Structure 1
Amino acid sequence: MENNHENFKSVIAIIIASFFWGTTGTAASYTPDISSLAIGAFSMGIGGVLLLITGRKKLLIDYKVMLKQPKILLLGAASVAIYPLAFYTSMRLSGVAIGTVVSIATAPFFAAILERLISKKYISLQWILSFVVGAIGITLLTLGKDQSNNTAYSVNQQSLGIFLGCIAGLTYAGYSWAARSLIESGVHSTSSMSGLFGCAALLLLPSLWFTGDNLFSSSTNALVSLYMAIIPMFLGYLLFGFGLNFIDASKATLITLIEPLVATVLAVFIIGERFKVIGWVGVALVLLCLLMQTIKTQKQLQLAIKST
């Protein structure tokens, strides 16, 4: 019963984190004069420092275990550092909705491959079916974007944005797998996330010397920069780390498909991006994918409650 409750809480934590992350593209759209590299480096770098500070006590206990796995630590830290640079540039080039959708939707695929090839974990039929439904939904969402009133994104820009979105998806899966691997080796989730993000901050923050000129050039830029560092990056990844305590990285990244849904809704109603009917069919399929992935957890919880 306890495992069922913890599993359910993990799913909820990752869903809340995904809501936070889904706001980042819309927030970044209010700072067009800030480089996408700068906003990515600042938000993830400062978020990493905050995670490091809050997790320092547990990290002092677990760091020796983490250092015994240098390849996993380096892979995870490098993935954390690359992810925001690719992610925010993807949104800048192809639009908030498509950039977010491609980045997040490709992560479960890469996560499952990593778990299968490296960790030798079994991929369930439920995961395969939910991924197929989600992939179809993501494709329809991408194809359903109305370009009639949007000439800002050329074909070359959008193609590059989609490619960078795939890079973001790969690195997202990379640090999710690394964090989960560290947790499975006995490292606390707080130590895992703070260690990976703290190392990434050492790589990201120095780059602001070259790219961060406009981060605090106006009150709007300052507020957006601080919001993205504290809410989606710091609080979001605290919740994500908690979730990885009890569920695999492939399932966690699949649940985060809710992030592009939030990003899409905000992009439509706040930024003004438009989608055809086929795009909204894609949104419905992604919701179905999430339902397929989480319904088992909810059933188990209901059974556990009935048995008490």
Structure 2
Amino acid sequence: MENHHGNFKGIIAIIIASFLWGTTGTAASYSPDVSPLAIGAFSMGIGGVLLVITARKKLFIDYKLMSKLPKVLLLGAVSIAIYPLAFYTSMHLSGVAIGTVVSIATAPFFAAILERLISKKNISLQWILSFVIGAIGIALLTLGKDQSNNTAYSIHQQSIGIILGCIAGLTYAGYSWAARCLIESGVHSKSSMSGLFGCAALLLLPSLWFTGDNLFSSSTNTLVSLYMAVIPMFLGYLLFGFGLSFIDASKATLITLIEPLVATVLAVFIIGERFKMIGWVGIALVSICLLMQTIKPQSQL
């Protein structure tokens, strides 16, 4: 019963984190003159610094345990460093909705493969079914983008955006797996997330020297930059780390499919991106995929 209760708490934490992350694309659209590389590096880098500051006591206790897994630490940190650069550039090239959907929706697939190949964990039938439904939903959503009103995203641009989205999905799965691996080896969830993000910040923040021209050039840009770093990145990943202490990475990344749904709804109602009927069918399928994971929590995944 305790396990089931913990499972539920973990799911709720990751759902809230996903809602926060779903706002990032729309927030970034208010700073069109800021490079997507700068937005990614600043938000993830500062978020990482904040995570380290808040978890410093736990980190001091756990750092010896973490240093015994240098490959996991390196994989996680490099994944976190690549993820925001690929993710925000993907949204910039293919639109907020498609960039977010592809980036997040490919992550469960990569996470399950990592768990199978490295951790030797079995993949449940429920996971496979929900993944297939989610994957079909993603494909329909991508096909359902209404291009008639928006010539800004050429087919070539969109294709590159989708490829970058897949890279973001792979790196997202990579750091989710690394965080879960550290937690399973006895590291506290706060230490594991802050340790990985702190190492990534060392890689990301120096890149702002080349890309961060307009981050604070206006009050809007300043507000967007600070919002992205503090709310979705710092608070979101604090919740995500908490969730990972209860459930596996493949399940956590499936639950985060709620993020592209939030991003799509915001992109439609606030930015004015448009979708054909087939796109909304895709959104419905992604919702079903999510429900399959959350209604009947399975502890054996």
SS at match of 1:296: coil
1:160-213, CA deviations, whole angstroms, 9 ceiling, x for partnerless residues?
A: 000000000000000000000000000000000000000000000011011101
Aligned AA (2:133): V
Structure 2 equivalent of residue 20 of structure 1? 20
Aligned AA (1:173): A
Counterparts of 1:167-186 in structure 2, within 5 Å, are 167-186=167-186
Aligned AA (1:61): I
Aligned AA (1:177): W
Which whole-Å CA distance do the structure 2 matches of 1:67 and 1:123 have between them?
29
Which whole-Å CA distance do the structure 2 matches of 1:254 and 1:9 have between them?
16
Counterparts of 1:57-136 in structure 2, within 5 Å, are 57-136=57-136
SS at match of 1:205: helix
Tell me whether 1:144 sits opposite 2:144 in the alignment: yes
SS at match of 1:172: helix
Structure 2 equivalent of residue 289 of structure 1? 289
Structure 2 equivalent of residue 204 of structure 1? 204
Residue 297 of structure 1, CA deviation = 2.5
Aligned AA (1:42): F
SS at match of 2:295: helix
Give the TM-score normalised by the residue count of structure 1: 0.96
Which whole-Å CA distance do the structure 2 matches of 1:198 and 1:284 have between them?
37
Which whole-Å CA distance do the structure 1 matches of 2:154 and 2:145 have between them?
14
Structure 1 unaligned blocks of 5 or more: 299-308
Counterparts of 1:126-275 in structure 2, within 5 Å, are 126-275=126-275
Residue 295 of structure 1, CA deviation = 1.2
Residue 3 of structure 1, CA deviation = 1.3
1:115-168, CA deviations, whole angstroms, 9 ceiling, x for partnerless residues?
A: 000000000000000000000111101100100001001111100000000000
Which whole-Å CA distance do the structure 1 matches of 2:2 and 2:112 have between them?
26
Which whole-Å CA distance do the structure 1 matches of 2:258 and 2:142 have between them?
15
Aligned AA (1:234): F
SS at match of 2:33: coil
SS at match of 1:297: coil
Give the TM-score normalised by the residue count of structure 2: 0.98
Aligned AA (1:116): R
Which whole-Å CA distance do the structure 1 matches of 2:154 and 2:139 have between them?
19
SS at match of 2:297: helix
Matched residue count? 299
Aligned AA (1:281): V
Which whole-Å CA distance do the structure 2 matches of 1:233 and 1:58 have between them?
19
1:35-54, CA deviations, whole angstroms, 9 ceiling, x for partnerless residues?
A: 00000000000000000000
* Percent identity over paired residues: 88
Aligned AA (2:110): F
The CA RMSD over aligned residues, in Å, is 1.0
Structure 1 equivalent of residue 4 of structure 2? 4
Which whole-Å CA distance do the structure 2 matches of 1:284 and 1:48 have between them?
34
Which whole-Å CA distance do the structure 1 matches of 2:86 and 2:137 have between them?
22
Which whole-Å CA distance do the structure 2 matches of 1:297 and 1:195 have between them?
29
Which whole-Å CA distance do the structure 2 matches of 1:280 and 1:292 have between them?
19
